[in-house]
Structure 1
Amino acid sequence: MLLDRREGCGCPAFWPNVYATVEYGKASRSPNTVVKVLRTLGMARMWAGVLGRDLDHDLRQGNFLSIEDVESLADFLCLTAVGQVEWAARAARTHTSRPERQRVVRLEDARPDPRRLERSVPPVTNPAEIATRVRWVASYVEWQLGMRLGSLDRQQRASENLKKLGEAVVARLRQRAPRSSHGSDDEPTLEGVDRDVLQRIDQAMLPGAKQNPFTPGFVQVRNYLIWRLLLDTGARRAEVREAKADHVKYSTRRFEIHTSKTIPRTVPINPKTADAFDRFMEDFWSKLSQNARRRGFLFTDGRGAHLSLRAINRIFERLREKDSNIPDFLAPHTVRRSWNDQFSATVDSLPPEKRPSVTEEVRIRNRLQGWRGESSMGARYAKRHIRRKSDEIAETLANDLALDSGKND
């Protein structure tokens, strides 16, 4: 829930919370998405507040943003949290430093020109995040526009003018969203690693292996179990980190993912992973302090403190440092992408009578990865496999055409 921090109120911000509930409050929606939407709307409200305005009040009254406002707001959404605070501080100084009796001809004259502000503030490094923020704000403005128009007499000329202005603002906001590369079949951002690389890592991670870069005993066995859970399930780093001892079922070979930014689920694991879990529990976890075992987290340091996400990242950093043949982009999420590659290859290898339909394949993948049934994420993660298959078919076709050409000669 987004709170209104103006004047120390601390009350729920009514319209943003209504919007998030109506548009994103469905059971199939990720709670994490709702949080991000509200955080983004909070940024927009912060921008307006610095300029002495109430964003929700303006939108509800039909005082929609000007094109100058759109540009300023879009620039603000491009900044990091630190950058937004610095921008707000400079903007507030600029806004309050004007002479009290200065005659204002245009409303824009009373607002700080973002072009005059320092540009040393670091922008958000991920264009996809910027695009998402801008689109969420545009959708919120569009929603407020629809609410406002619904309360007016549609025969009134004012309603028509308001609609044109609001639609122009929404369109301009969406134009400011950076284009994402996800639409390209050749985009490299969701690359996994090949099967031989996964096998190489698995051998290096085996407890007791000569090439294992970690301290023998507790650390090696724990890290191997982390690796195996990621490899078997394609789970996210945070999902594995939040696992508790009773979430892994040795007898049924299942991993229950209770904490997820999308949908909790239960997924199968390999017998090899089940054995790694059994060894870790018997030889090490059961010997942790009583307090650590009471908290129940499966992955801790040697003193029983819950392992951090950064510590899991360091496992993969250490592997990359140890073996130059491991790609530089190897990270926990790379294993998730690799899982999706292997899933696609497994489906393709099935005989036609056992192969699921395209719709069923999408549903199966989405369930195992924690996406909603209609989510398009599965298609994005399958792009690498589809690209490989298309290249193989094209190469075969090119060879066949070359042979046919030789015969004709």
Structure 2
Amino acid sequence: MVLALLYRELTAAGIDLLQRLREGQFLTIPELNRLADAAQYWAADLSDEDVDERRGANVVDIKRIRMRRKAAVEERKAVDVATQASRLRYMADYLEFLVTYVSAALATALREQLVRESADALKAFRAQVPRVPKRAKLGAREGLSKEDQDRLLKVIHPDSPDNPWTDGFVRRRNWLIVVLLLATGMRRSELLGIQIRDLDQRLPKLRIIRRADAKEDPRRDQPNTKTNDRELELRPAIMRAVWSHIQNDRRKIKAARKYPQLIVGDEGFPLSAKSVDKLFVDLRQACPGLPVSLTSHVMRHTWNERFSEQAELMGLTETVEEKARNEQQGWADNSKSAATYTRRHTSRKGRELSLKLQEQLEQKDDTDR
């Protein structure tokens, strides 16, 4: 099954693997990234369209065309982390075996080139193998690691060559969306509900307001705020970016002037929740190294984990940290929601405490001797 997936992706890319190896050349990093990306999804959700074209198929079932179009709109379904890791390891081992097999029959110069290229490429490929949780509970959603967060911000920067969008307005708006989600930990629905009047014109602050069935919101499925109303303070640089977007980008779209919402589409209509979901699908496809679980809600988990790390650095007590978090997230004073959003931090602290206990045992053992 894994080899079938591997060869299907290579065929779709027009790659004859054995012929490539016989020429002393290995797969490139982008080509390996394509394999790594495919390994994250159910095989049934991956389109055969490119493969059919490469094979020169003359007749295509109309039902399959409809299924492809439907799959293009809907988000593909991810396999579990253990399956993804197993696929990547199997692919890497198989490719390494082929290199050894084919290189034995090559001239010295080609053999050395192939071995060298494959070693470097496979090292990078194996680095994408995710860590598999020991128990299902540990596989629950977590925030981004610091490395993934940096990678995300690099890809979505408006000037990045890897940015998946071509339109300048869309690039800058989507960058602002991700930055605001990471900076505040707000929900997708809260971001989409922000109106320009919710921004403080004198101070770097904005308000999150609950507006059920708002008359000024034309969206059929209005994004509703689930938490309490609250005021959030932003860094001045981020607030300047918000106002710059309003004055230099949003204002140029005449249709947007009819709506009070901060975040709008390039046609001026308030952005939908599905459009935000599609934004993260595009990001994952543009940067295969990003987690397949990347969504707007992962930004919320990421903020909460960074909040815990900063609270620890500041020496806050658990009670103070809990109250501060609840206030920032709009939760009730006695809410225990934080446990849902701080798994990575909690897991790290648990490992540190466990190692401290082991260290004490080692010291006692040395003393007894």
Compute the TM-score of the two structures, normalised by the length of structure 2: 0.56
Q: Assess if the C-alpha contact under 8 Å between 1:231 and 1:339 holds in 2.
A: yes
Distance 1:375 1:190 in 2: 19
CA deviations on 1:108-145 (whole Å, 9 max, x unpaired) are xxxxxxxxxxxxxxxxxxxxxxxxxxxxxxxxxxxxxx
Distance 2:348 2:136 in 1: 11
Query: In structure 2, what is the equivalent of residue 202 of structure 1?
Result: 153
Alignment-mate amino acid for residue 204 of structure 1:
V
Query: In structure 2, what is the equivalent of residue 316 of structure 1?
Result: 280
Alignment-mate amino acid for residue 341 of structure 2:
Y
Q: For this pair of structures, how many residues does the alignment match?
A: 221
Q: 1:151-170 residue pairs with structure 2 within 5 A?
A: none
Query: In structure 1, what is the equivalent of residue 232 of structure 2?
Result: 267
Q: Does 1:379 align with 2:339?
A: yes
CA deviations on 1:67-120 (whole Å, 9 max, x unpaired) are xxxxxxxxxxxxxxxxxxxxxxxxxxxxxxxxxxxxxxxxxxxxxxxxxxxxxx
SS of the aligned residue for 2:206 comes to: strand
**Is there any run of 5+ residues in structure 1 with no aligned partner, and where?**
1-183
Query: In structure 2, what is the equivalent of residue 218 of structure 1?
Result: 169
Question: Which of 374, 386, 397 is 2:357 aligned to?
Answer: 397
Question: Which of 295, 298, 312 is 1:348 aligned to?
Answer: 312
Distance 1:406 1:374 in 2: 45
Deviation at 1:263, TM superposition (A): 0.8
Deviation at 1:185, TM superposition (A): 11
Distance 1:386 1:374 in 2: 19
Distance 1:232 1:250 in 2: 19
Q: Assess if the C-alpha contact under 8 Å between 1:316 and 1:331 holds in 2.
A: yes
Deviation at 1:310, TM superposition (A): 0.6
233-242 or 384-393: bigger deviation = 384-393
SS of the aligned residue for 2:227 comes to: coil
Q: Assess if the C-alpha contact under 8 Å between 1:208 and 1:216 holds in 2.
A: no
Distance 1:235 1:384 in 2: 19
Alignment-mate amino acid for residue 343 of structure 1:
F
- CA change 1:189–1:248 in 2 (3 A) is farther
Deviation at 1:380, TM superposition (A): 3.0
Query: In structure 2, what is the equivalent of residue 50 of structure 1?
Result: none
Q: 1:89-238 residue pairs with structure 2 within 5 A?
A: 186-238=137-189
Query: In structure 2, what is the equivalent of residue 360 of structure 1?
Result: 320
Alignment-mate amino acid for residue 396 of structure 1:
K
Q: Assess if the C-alpha contact under 8 Å between 2:206 and 2:231 holds in 1.
A: yes
Q: Does 1:286 align with 2:280?
A: no
Distance 1:378 1:403 in 2: 35
Distance 1:192 1:364 in 2: 19
CA deviations on 1:262-315 (whole Å, 9 max, x unpaired) are 2121112233322321221222111121x5223111111111011110100111
Query: In structure 2, what is the equivalent of residue 277 of structure 1?
Result: 242
**Is there any run of 5+ residues in structure 2 with no aligned partner, and where?**
1-134, 211-224
Compute the TM-score of the two structures, normalised by the length of structure 1: 0.51
Q: Does 1:298 align with 2:262?
A: yes
Q: 1:21-32 residue pairs with structure 2 within 5 A?
A: none
Question: Which of 193, 198, 216 is 1:242 aligned to?
Answer: 193
SS of the aligned residue for 1:255 comes to: strand
Q: Assess if the C-alpha contact under 8 Å between 2:230 and 2:330 holds in 1.
A: yes
- CA change 1:293–1:202 in 2 (3 A) is same
Q: Assess if the C-alpha contact under 8 Å between 1:250 and 1:274 holds in 2.
A: no
Alignment-mate amino acid for residue 246 of structure 1:
R
Calculate percent identity across the aligned residue pairs: 29
SS of the aligned residue for 2:231 comes to: strand
Distance 2:329 2:349 in 1: 22
Alignment-mate amino acid for residue 272 of structure 1:
A
Alignment-mate amino acid for residue 230 of structure 2:
R
Distance 1:211 1:249 in 2: 34
Q: Assess if the C-alpha contact under 8 Å between 2:250 and 2:256 holds in 1.
A: no
